[in-house]
Structure formats: structure tokens, C-alpha cells
Amino acid sequence: METRNERDGSLGQESTKTLFQEIHRLCHVEGLYPLGWIERTECPCCGASRFQEAFKKLGIRHSRCAECDYVCVDPYPPPQVMEVLYSGDYYTRMREFYELPRLRDQGIGSAYSAPVELLDALIAKGTGGRESGAWLDVGGGLGAFASLVSRRAPGWNVSLNEMNVKSIEIARDLLKLDVLPEDSAVLRAEGREFDVVSSIAVLEHVVDPVAFVSDYAALLKPGGLLITVVPHFTRLNVHVSKASNSNVVPPFHLSLFGADNLERLLRRTELFSGFETMQGGGASFTLIDHAEHWMYWDSLLPDADHAEIRTVRTEEYPLPLNIVLNALSLAVPVTSEYFAATDGMAHLAICATRKNVTPFGK
């Protein structure tokens, strides 16, 4: 029989049932948060050291850069905790029960991590009408996006760069993809070069996004294109939604980017000569996030009987909060298009062109 502490979400058995329980167990119980976790000393986007505490979610602190509004988990997990997180129940079950059946049985489109319309626009931008080229998709999991690129641009040589052994097996066997399991340094030493390097819903998980971008940009041919897609944490998310925004999933999402600070991060590498941003999906901000409501909900991990992702109420709202949320929900349908247009959409993409000449020392 399982026993649950309603405040910390811990279970009296080995496996976990929900996302928040998984995070509590791996971060607070086994990961000893914040003992041994690493403090940010500098904003990776703008280089400033003026961090302010922004909010906490699941007991994990987030800091905001006072210069550029970049928000991050601070302190962030050490490598040993990161390794356990990405081999835990959440990612294992998501691959086995949610992503894989959709790739195999329901059509690859159901496994995309961004709207297909946005992904198609990015593929068109990357190929630029050329019939052939070399495309590397980094951290692409089971290979849904890499497979889409292969189908949209059949003359291109598309490779998936992925480290997870199970994901590599599925991408090769099910989608027939060319998978490169080596890191960027090894690929560079092998003399690999690409016309396009993409990362879809990856950069928000990376401890050092500047190093990540720099390392993979080094694999681009001069004039090549770096394509990055992240969850969009808009200005209203930073200053109003805070922990209630669904993109805040610590410590899986270590960085929360807006359009301006994401471009600043790429400019800071001094590797790119031009930038173009795109957005997709619905509004990132919703009026409901005026009220702090996230702690009343959790997400059930997929299993063999329920492959879909299910959000569940863990306890009833207090009456005053319930009244506020009901009132705000009435305005959501008539304001979502306005917020999408004025504040931003849920998915943010940036295309950065590699300089023809490498800066000194890079």
C-alpha cells in the first residue's frame, strides 16, 4: 500500500506515480537539495551578475537576471543528480508509454515537441530551397523531428545526435535514422560539418547554454544555420505568471528564455552574423496565471494502461481562489489571441547564421 505525505508528495514505495513526486524524491530526498547544488555567478545571456530571487516551485529556487529577465533554476543540479533525473521514472515512462506508441501506431506527428506548422517553417528556412545538404538534429530523443526533416527534404543527409541508448535503438530500428552518439567535441575532431544544426526543446534543459551553443555552432559550415526552439517564457510570464506557468518544470527546465535574452545569448558567443525569430502555438501567457494555482495540480506518469498524459487535481481550491479562477477563466477565450500577438506564443524559435570568419580565439 502506498502512503503519501500531502505536503511533500513523497510515497512509501519505490516507484512514483506523479511528476511532482518524482521531482521531490530525486531532488530533495536523494539529491539533497540544495546541498551540493551549484550557484549561478553570471547570467549566460548577458553576463551580468545581478541575480534576484524570482520565485520557488516545488521548493526549488529560481533566479531572475535584473538586466535581461533571464530566469533559471539557481542553484542548479550537479552532474550526478542530472544523470539520475534523466534516467528516472518520468523520462523512462514518457518514452515507453507515450512517445513510442505514437511514433509506431498513431503517426509521427503526435510526438512533435512544437507545432508542425512552426517545424515546417524552420525546415524550409534551413534548407533554403536547396535540394541537398547535411542536417544535424541535436538531442532529438526518438527522432521525430529528424524524421520529419528527412521526409520534407529527402535529398538531405539528416543525422540525429543523441546519447540515450534506448532512444538511439528506437531511432535506428523504427525510423531508420542515422544516429551519431558522440558529443560535439568528438564530431568536430572527426571533421564533421553541417549546413544546419537544430535543437528542438533542448536548450532549456542544458546547464551551460553558452557552451552548448558554441560547441555545436563549431560544427556548422561558414554561413550555416543554427536553429533552436525553446518554450517561450514571455515578459508577462516573468513578471506575472511566474511559477504558475506550465513551462516552469524544475529542475528539468533549467533555463526560461524570452526572445530578447535568447538572442543575447547567441550574440554573446560572437559566432553569428544574423538572427531571425519565429513563434508558434497559442499564447504563452494566460490570465488564469494571475493567481498562484499550480500547487493544486500534478501530472500522472504514463503507464501501460494509460499512455496519455493526465493532469489531476491533488486538492480542492480554497473558496476565494476558486472564485478568482472562475472569473479569470471567462476572459481566457477572448484574450488569448491578444496575448499571443502582444506578449508572445508558447514556442519560440531562433535561426542564427554562422559567420563566414571565426572570431579570434574561438
* DSSP structure string for 44-58: TTT----EEEEEEET
- In the predicted model, is pLDDT for residue 362 greater than 80? no
For residues 37 and 56, the answer to whether their CB atoms sit within 8 Å is no
Summarize the confidence of residues 67-75 as an average pLDDT.
Answer: 97
Instruction: Just give the CATH number of 19-354.
Output: 3.40.50.150
Give 138's DSSP letter: E
pLDDT tens, position by position, 289-327: 999 999 999 999 998 888 888 899 999 999 999 999 999
Helices 116-127/144-152 angle, 10° precision: 50
pLDDT score, position 358: 52
Q: What three-state secondary structure class fits 159?
A: strand
Q: Which of 160, 144, 162 is nearest to 152 (CA)?
A: 144
Is 5's pLDDT higher than 80? no
Dig out the grid coordinates for 83 from the structure: 544523470
Q: Is 337 exposed, middle or buried (0-12, 13-18, 19+ CB in 10 A)?
A: exposed
Domain range list for the chain: 19-354
Per DSSP, helices labelled H in 13-70 are 19-23
**Whole-angstrom Cα distance, residue 319 to residue 326?**
11
Residue 102 neighbours by CB distance under 10 Å: 18
Q: How does pLDDT run across 200-234, given as a tens digit for each residue?
A: 999 999 999 999 999 999 999 999 999 999 999 99
Mean pLDDT of the chain: 91
Share of residues in the chain with pLDDT > 70 (%): 92
Task: Please give the backbone phi and psi of residue 196, each rounded to the nearest 5 degrees, phi first.
Answer: -140, 135
The answer to whether the beta carbons of residues 232 and 350 sit under 8 Å apart is no
pLDDT tens string 6-18? 333 333 334 568 9
- pLDDT number for residue 98: 86
Average pLDDT over residues 103-108: 67
